[in-house]
A and B are shown apart, each in its own frame.
Chain A
Amino acid sequence: MAFDPVPLQLTAELFPNGISRYAVGGLLVGLGAVVIYVGTGIAAGASTFLESTLSYVSDQSRFQQYVASRDWRVVFTLGIVLGGLAFAATVQSGLVTTSLYEAGTTGELYEVGGLTLWSTSVQPWRLFVGGVLVGIGTRIGKGCTSGHGVCGVGSASKTSLVGVATFLTVAIVTAQIVAALGVSP
């Protein structure tokens, strides 16, 4: 019997929620980016939306460079929001079930008109302060987890690889410190 519980145990420790939901979700995220790239040649990133949308309401010279792309960026973001809603309406609501999806135990589920929706337990101040830093950092750093992480790494851009290594390392250190200080959730 070639029975070796050690690797299995290790896998369970590293991936307590399994791997499939992450891998399948990741493939879909990549597929979404590819669909756009195939049709338009655009390597889509999510964080430029923050600045391009500000160009509708602000005359700051910095935002004017995004006037040409701001319309499709709104559509892309709307698509992402609706994609999340579609997920909520199907898999999260139990309308579609698949063994590839492991339901999480984080946050809180609530029902609205037959839809199972989800809300986070992470404190608003963390979301807001973190959001401000994300807004500053992604725009100075030329990209976020989609622009650098998915499209940049996918095109083997050295700039993006360095960018990802930087924000990943800093984020890990930050999250560990915040957790060590006893801030939860």
Chain B
Amino acid sequence: MPLILLGGLIFGFGLGFSQMARPEVVLNFLQFEDFGLLFVMFGAAIVSGIAFAVLPRISDAAPLTGDRYERRLKPFDRNVLIGGGIFGVGWGLSGICPGAAYASLGVGNVTILWALAGMFVGAYAQGYWRSRAAETGTAPAGAD
């Protein structure tokens, strides 16, 4: 748990430093006014990519949990496209995504509570629909 807190701290500090905690900066990227966001996403992906590639060769399992270092790939289905599309509209409208919203609260952006409230409403709504669908067995259950 302390390690997860530390990881979260670095993660959040990075989101603050890179200005991703500012919806305006994300919107500037999406409107092609400042392409810096590419460096954030790919910079982070390169770092995690190196770790994901190297760690399994050094050690079999994580020291704290005993979990194996493995790629837990999410299965692809239509939902990835549908969900990605809905998320895209939301991201393009608000300029904020979940991790950046938490960090944004940390840098003092109280207004972001609107977005966080919205995210919980949205997450609850889809959970409600999918719980219903799973109970009645009409819609395909999303296994993720």
The CA of A58 and the CA of B131, in the complex, are separated in Å by 11
Pairwise interchain contact B95-A130, C-beta atoms closer than 8 A: yes
A85-104 contacts to B, CB under 8 A, are: 85-88, 91-92, 101, 104
Query: Which residues of chain B come closer than 8 Å to A30, judged between CB atoms?
Result: 14, 43-48
Pairwise interchain contact A118-B11, C-beta atoms closer than 8 A: no
- A81 in contact with B105 given A15-B35, A159-B76 (CB within 8 Å): yes
Q: Which of A49, A84, A149, A163 contacts B41 (CB 8 A)?
A: A149
Closest B-chain residue to A60, C-beta based?
Answer: B131
Per-residue CB proximity of B70-86 to A under 8 Å, as 1/0?
11111110011111111
- A172 in contact with B30 given A78-B8, A133-B86, A167-B87 (CB within 8 Å): yes
**Smallest distance from the beta carbon of B6 to chain A beta carbons, Å?**
6
Interface: A67 (CB within 8 A):
no
Closest B-chain residue to A30, C-beta based?
Answer: B47
**Smallest distance from the beta carbon of B117 to chain A beta carbons, Å?**
7
The CA of A138 and the CA of B99, in the complex, are separated in Å by 12
Number of interface residues of B (CB under 8 A): 119
The CA of A158 and the CA of B96, in the complex, are separated in Å by 24
- A119 in contact with B111 given A62-B131, A134-B87 (CB within 8 Å): yes
The CA of A63 and the CA of B93, in the complex, are separated in Å by 27
Q: Which of A34, A40, A82 contacts B64 (CB 8 A)?
A: A40
Pairwise interchain contact B44-A150, C-beta atoms closer than 8 A: yes
- A131 in contact with B7 given A41-B68, A81-B106, A167-B84 (CB within 8 Å): no
Pairwise interchain contact A167-B117, C-beta atoms closer than 8 A: no
Residues in A lying within 8 Å of B, measured CB to CB: 14-19, 21-44, 46-47, 49-51, 53-54, 58, 60-63, 71-72, 75-88, 91-92, 101, 104, 106-107, 110, 112, 115, 117-122, 124-146, 148-160, 162-164, 166-179, 185
Closest 5 CB pairs of A and B: A79-B8, A141-B83, A25-B18, A83-B12, A84-B106
The CA of A19 and the CA of B3, in the complex, are separated in Å by 29
Per-residue CB proximity of B105-118 to A under 8 Å, as 1/0?
11111111011111
Closest B-chain residue to A176, C-beta based?
Answer: B31
Pairwise interchain contact A22-B80, C-beta atoms closer than 8 A: no
Query: Which residues of chain A come closer than 8 Å to B49, judged between CB atoms?
Result: 153-156
The CA of A117 and the CA of B119, in the complex, are separated in Å by 23
- A15 in contact with B36 given A32-B12, A118-B107, A133-B122 (CB within 8 Å): yes
Pairwise interchain contact B110-A119, C-beta atoms closer than 8 A: yes
**Smallest distance from the beta carbon of A88 to chain B beta carbons, Å?**
4
Closest B-chain residue to A185, C-beta based?
Answer: B24
Pairwise interchain contact A131-B36, C-beta atoms closer than 8 A: no
Closest B-chain residue to A34, C-beta based?
Answer: B51
The CA of A50 and the CA of B121, in the complex, are separated in Å by 9
Pairwise interchain contact A170-B36, C-beta atoms closer than 8 A: no
**Smallest distance from the beta carbon of A3 to chain B beta carbons, Å?**
24
